[in-house]
Chains A and B, each alone.
Chain A
């Protein structure tokens, strides 16, 4: 995809995710919007993972550790054809497997996530597995910034460096807000880059809502012998004029007027499942 196509796709995914949240009258709007560019670049540009190789042992592995941002993840899986896109209409409906956190009963989802601090350890295991079995697949995991307060993240950060997992790419969606307010007020994280550097990681910081920068990063040669950390600075609620950088939009649901306003801002005419 060209840069413009990736930008358009990310906005299409945002509109789709927001519509799912509106239909279900539940969801995590803010983080879903901040992470959409990262997920779009991973699934349409960077990873060797699609419905055609979903059960291949050589597929790249993806884990959404910030599981509450599942709406754009499901929207992408539906759009890529891991399951019929029409099933997105069942998001959070009774009996649907497409629930409010990633569920591996859904094709394309590797493991169930949503309890924070779980994704990085599992990703470390998948990356060790690749090394030990001589497989070339890469492992990707996306975490939240509030999630960094979970101790298990740092257990895994230590293990990833210990095992020199240069086949592991971790991303922190650094939108700076969590449910109670700014991360720096709830539990100060800065300097997050230095924390990971001191743990022995190859750390990069960039604008996580810039698909071009994300594309460049995921296609760049990274140092050998170290796991790779991308601190992706993002805007919570990105793309929604009424929600950007507002903590209350962590899990607020848009009104129908706000949904229309969002479509206009995102350049989307309509969303159909």
Chain B
């Protein structure tokens, strides 16, 4: 299976677009290497702004660039952009309606053994609570490319989080994506898995295994955390059991968003899979995810557990 990292998919596409559209700018905070913007900076120096290790300044500068009529993309580690510069995202970008796109890379626990300082496991909760900001957690490189095309055209500010490593490419290159519309990848009747980002592929694998055992599950890729696809969530609830999986705290993320919809409109039993409220286990990203059961096997087990508990299967 083809493996690609989303960082590269983004920078390849944004450089292509910026070559044609001189209003597209990229900003980095000593992060051009980690974001893979080195080529962009070399080929399009007049559209690249190095801000040094100063995320607050970078988001403010981006808002100023937008005010001057440009379309800036601020790119750097998700952990810093979602927390250190959170107030600039709220005030200078979202509240002020400046057309700034924040691309948080190496999100979730991608940085693994670098530890919690470098993990972004609260970003969905924080960013989705800010009015005027769209939030996307794409799941593969094909989707990231399509999302980049959307972001370059859109006049709405957005926060996007991607991981660090290469992950399976499972979308067809011709697949279309509509912000606000989740992608239904499988249809089942015993339960539904709603996942985002790099949890989508393990969710698909878990659904395959569930199917082998005689349980059919729907799988949704909720890459659009905001605007959220409430219709897909209500459809998922028709199965009678919804499991959410995300590389994020169990507080306030995708699981929280889904339960906010269901608890008020169509209450059904839910399992929210994510990182517990504790200092994160140390290890590389795969080891951290495995420790917390955020794997295809882990999703399978929690799905079976849910079926037994809620549906007496």
Contact = CB atoms under 8 A, between A and B. Distances in A.
A155 B57 contact: yes
Interface of A: 57, 61, 104, 110-115, 117-118, 120-130, 132-133, 135, 139, 151-152, 155-156, 158-159, 162
Contacts of B49: 128
Closest 4 CB pairs of A and B: A125-B64, A121-B60, A129-B68, A155-B57
Contacts of A122: 60-61, 63-64, 67, 92
Given A112-B92, A125-B67, 14 more contacts: A57-B68, A104-B97, A111-B96, A118-B60, A122-B63, A124-B64, A125-B64, A128-B61, A129-B69, A152-B56, A155-B56, A155-B57, A159-B51, A159-B54
Q: Is the interface of B mostly helix, strand, loop or mixed?
A: helix
Contacts of B66: 125
Nearest to A123: B64
B46 interface: yes
25 contacts: A61-B67, A104-B96, A111-B63, A111-B67, A111-B98, A112-B92, A112-B95, A118-B91, A121-B56, A121-B61, A121-B88, A122-B64, A122-B92, A125-B61, A125-B67, A126-B65, A128-B65, A151-B56, A152-B56, A152-B57, A152-B60, A155-B56, A156-B60, A156-B61, A158-B54
B52 interface: yes
A213 to B, nearest CB: 28
B159 to A, nearest CB: 18
A133 B51 contact: no
B48 to A, nearest CB: 10
A155 B54 contact: yes
Interface residues of B, number: 30
Given A155-B56, A158-B52, A124 B61 contact: yes
Interface of B: 25, 46-47, 49, 51-52, 54, 56-57, 59-70, 72, 87-88, 91-92, 95-98
A76 B282 CA distance: 57
Contacts, number: 105
A159 B52 contact: yes
Nearest to B22: A133
Contact of B70 (A112, A127, A133, A158): A133
B69 A124 contact: no
Q: Is the interface of A mostly helix, strand, loop or mixed?
A: helix
Contacts of A104: 96-97
Given A125-B60, A155-B54, A155-B56, A132 B96 contact: no
A34 B107 CA distance: 46
B67 to A, nearest CB: 5
Given A124-B60, A159-B51, A115 B68 contact: no
B202 to A, nearest CB: 39
A113 B60 CA distance: 11
A120 B57 CA distance: 9
Contact of A133 (B57, B59, B69): B69
A242 B70 CA distance: 47
Contacts of A152: 54, 56-57, 60, 88
B91 A113 contact: yes
A104 B66 CA distance: 14
A126 B57 contact: no
Given A113-B91, A118-B60, A156-B60, A130 B67 contact: no
Nearest to A158: B52
A110 B67 contact: yes
Contacts of A123: 64
A125 B65 contact: yes
Contacts of A139: 64
Of residues A121, A158, A162, which shows the largest number of chain B Cβ atoms within 10 Å of its Cβ? A121
Contacts of A155: 52, 54, 56-57
A148 B95 CA distance: 23
Contacts of A130: 68
A173 to B, nearest CB: 20
B302 to A, nearest CB: 41
A129 B54 CA distance: 19
Nearest to A111: B96
